[in-house]
Chains A and B, each alone.
Chain A
Amino acid sequence: MTQEFKPNLVGYLCNWCSYAGADLAGATKLEIKPTLSVVRVMCSSRVNSNLVLTALAWGADGVLIAGCHPGDCHYEQGNYYARRRFALLKKILESLDLEADRIQLSWISAAEGKRYADIVNDFAEKISRRGPSPLRNHSKI
């Protein structure tokens, strides 16, 4: 089995910025690795830790949360709260040594098609190098 590993990624994208950024990336025909399953959310602060954990438990190799740049959230402060929640989840996974590097938080505006493509491609590459998530087929899960 020397087939190249294609990661299975989940992206929670905020409707107002990052999702529009993804749209722009598509419209301008930027090359994006087809590894990210996109879930549109109304704000990065909508992403409860359960959504991230469920994706991981169900075998996602990586989870991306993307929202508006700090200061630009459509709901003014959502992304600041999102960042704290993400920080907590990241620190929990780090402290338990549970694949913390498989989750990522990025800020992508509606105008940043190129940044979207870069971030998604970089994330896909990073996780490809990292290999499949051990949760995918763990006998205890």
Chain B
Amino acid sequence: MTPHQERTGPGAVPAQAAFLPAPEGTKKAVTDFLKTLMDQGGLDALLVPVEVPDTPFHAWVMVKKSEVLDKAHPLPPVMSVQGGRALSSLTKHGTPWLHIAAVMRPCEARAAVELAKLKQVRLDNVVLITIDCPGALPLAEYVADPEKGQERYKTVADTWHENEFLRPACARCHRFSLTGLEDGPSEGPAPDDAPASVDIHIGLLGEDQNGILLLPVTPSGAEILKKTGLEADRPTAGWESRVRDLLKKKKEKRQAAHEEFRKDITGLDRFLTVFDPCINCHNCMNVCPVCYCQQCYFDTQTQFCTSSVYMDRARKRGALRFPPDPLLFHLGRMSHMVLSCVSCGACEDACPVSIPVGKVFSWVADETQPAFGYSAGTDRGDPLPLQNFLKEEFCEIETPSACGQAQSTEVKENA
């Protein structure tokens, strides 16, 4: 068992990237790149969102013919199925004979990395590609008026987070670019074994807006880019500084939002008030990429008791609501998965009664993950906190507190 170390971050912002001109707009350039990948990158297929014919919606499609890629784009106006979940349904039982690339938003790739650690995704034959993400629109609003949504999304794609149309999760997202860039060290060359969670990143925020940057993040990413004949000869410094500027703003925004949340959601009464309208549909769980259990405890009958037990509880309390213990579902789910929460907002997009589930979960994620030196989806090599331990840690939570004691005398080395 290796103890968790200070995370080193991705470190690996490659100094140079390939450049693809975009005379007809970045969307077209991205599509062209996907086609080149498909035709020359030595891949069997691509997993990417593709327009559903004659509708304003996109679905995850495994594409084998490059013509289909004309209708593909990793940045559809809304997040339908979270990409991590899509990749899980494809690779859960292994991908031994396929070499595919999955192209997705950063928060989706993070979920894929968490799922890989949970053995719900296989990444061994998958090239993970992310793209600078301008955010997505609230699902319900888009469904209610797709035309208006498409109009709005044009603004979203052009204004880089400076607009009022984004989903709440995107409005405070600080992980919209190359994964890990937001909390890793920035300077200096990356060591060869620098942990990274994605292979190739598509930069849209480069100084030259007439093209896109293709960043080879891992050696396998670099190899594939090489196969496509694209030369990585453009410096990435301009792109990086643009991303970092935006990051700084977004981090401040996130911080401010979180201070506000403290007032909105903490304390028993406020917490219960947030979940008052809950209709117990479990949508939030069903769409959450990192809630992967085949049989969730909260969907089983195990949690229910015989009516005499409820009668007894009702008698003692004077009243009891049904189904019982609404709080348990949310807190229980949280205690199982919040260290892997990637703040993607899929849960609140799916809530029929507009409970800000993602706000609550990402707040708790931000509060808890650092305590374990962890950041969900950032580093493939970082073990899941609950599947790992140090022999001496968290002394402050033990009663009596073991802090300051010479614990090592108590710790018996297990052979």
Contact = CB atoms under 8 A, between A and B. Distances in A.
Interface of A: 49-50, 53-54, 57-59, 69-72, 76-77, 80-81, 83-92, 94-99, 104-107, 119, 122-123, 134-141
Interface of B: 1, 265-268, 271-272, 276, 297, 303, 313, 316-319, 321, 325-328, 331-332, 334-336, 338-339, 363-364, 367-368, 371-372, 385-386, 388-394, 397-400, 407, 410-414
Given A83-B389, A99-B268, A105 B398 contact: yes
Contacts of B339: 88
Given A49-B336, A105-B399, A84 B394 contact: yes
Given A49-B332, A83-B389, A98-B268, A141 B414 contact: no
Contacts of B335: 49-50, 53, 85, 88-89, 92
Contacts, number: 133
A105 B394 CA distance: 11
A57 B313 contact: no
Given A84-B385, A96-B266, A137 B397 contact: no
Given A76-B414, A88-B368, A91-B371, A137 B317 contact: yes
Contacts of B328: 50, 53-54, 57
A69 to B, nearest CB: 6
Contact of B276 (A70, A83, A140): A140
Contacts of A91: 367-368, 371
The 8 closest A-B pairs by CB, nearest first: A95-B367, A49-B335, A71-B412, A80-B389, A97-B266, A71-B411, A140-B272, A87-B394
A37 B391 CA distance: 30
A71 B414 CA distance: 7
Contact of A81 (B317, B319, B331, B386): B386
